[in-house]
Structure 1
Amino acid sequence: MVIPLKHVAISTQDPEASRDFFANVMGWTVAGRVDSRNAQGYYVTDGTINIALLRFKNRPAAGLEFPEGYNGLHHLGFQCEDVEATAEYMEEQGFPPRHDINIAQGLGKNPDKDNAEYKMTGPASVMIDISERGWVGTSSYKPKAG
């Protein structure tokens, strides 16, 4: 089974400066803005990969392992055909769901939600997102119907 990487999230205390770096220096497109109860920031893309540049508003949503004011890699996102089956497979391999973050962010195995993701434990303390829809700005993104 090959599950392609389509998303990276970077925790930053200055999402605007990070957005400007990707847009002005790297030539990427700003694909969206995030301003929820959990995070503020931007999505940027080169058409293949989506990077979320996020300033988390609370530690439960970020994950309690991340200190207040953390800057750096937060998680990697992989697009799959079936979130339920992929989550089950990953858990069988010893990488269980991150229920703490899924609950804090209101996430779930919900393919009807735009940019829906499901957080899983990953190797080397790097969190993993799995998503059926994918991420805005990528060629494999499947927007919500209607």
Structure 2
Amino acid sequence: MARLRHIAIMVRDLEAATKFYKDVFEFEDAGSETIGAGTANYLTDGVINLALLHFTDKTPEEMDKLAGLNHFGIQVDDVAKYEDRVNAAGGCFFFELAGSKQGNSERKYKDPEGVVFDISKHGWVGTDGRLKTEAAE
């Protein structure tokens, strides 16, 4: 069964956005990590991981264009099965993040409209279905 478990938002001010979602919705910290040329702060309601992303290699003008919903993620039991279904329905593989077999990373796809989404077997930190692996613990 497929389960929506991850939403990623690109933000201009990581600390302010983190404070906003924690203060308003009482989301809990689930962690933080350096990702490529930026940082991700992870918040959770216990079911879904909200990733707030900020890239330091972007100009303020580039961040203005990137700000907002970036992608969402779905946890599945069998990635290959769902990849076949994505392809059959007109979607396509986009790329795989390093560490996708350990959790909190994933294989990225695009739907027929070009919307980016993730498929993960291991899930994301702070979610109710996250699978524990040696590298993820």
Cα distance change on mapping 1:71 and 1:85 into 2, 3 Å: same
Q: How does 1:118-137 map to 2 (within 5 A)?
A: 118-122=107-111, 124-137=113-126
Structure 2 gap segments, 5+ residues each: none
Shift of 1:54: 0.2
Cα distance change on mapping 1:81 and 1:38 into 2, 3 Å: farther
Retained in 2: the 8 A contact 1:116–1:132?
Answer: no
The reply to whether residue 75 of structure 1 matches residue 64 of structure 2 is no
Retained in 2: the 8 A contact 1:76–1:126?
Answer: no
Q: How does 1:1-146 map to 2 (within 5 A)?
A: 2-57=1-56, 68-69=62-63, 70-99=66-95, 102=96, 105-106=97-98, 110-111=100-101, 113-122=102-111, 124-145=113-134
User: RMSD between aligned alpha carbons?
Assistant: 2.1
SS of residue matched to 1:16: helix
Shift of 1:57: 4.5
SS of residue matched to 1:98: strand
Partner of 1:62: none
The sequence identity of aligned pairs, in percent, is 33
CA distance in 1, matches of 2:112, 2:25: 29
- The structure with the greater share of residues assigned to strand is 2
How big is each residue's C-alpha offset from its partner over 1:5-51, in whole Å with a ceiling of 9 and x where there is no partner?
11000011211111111112210001010213243120000001111
TM-score by length of 2: 0.84
Retained in 1: the 8 A contact 2:109–2:118?
Answer: yes
Retained in 2: the 8 A contact 1:16–1:41?
Answer: no
Paired residue type of 1:95: G
TM-score by length of 1: 0.80
Structure 1 gap segments, 5+ residues each: 60-66
Shift of 1:83: 1.2
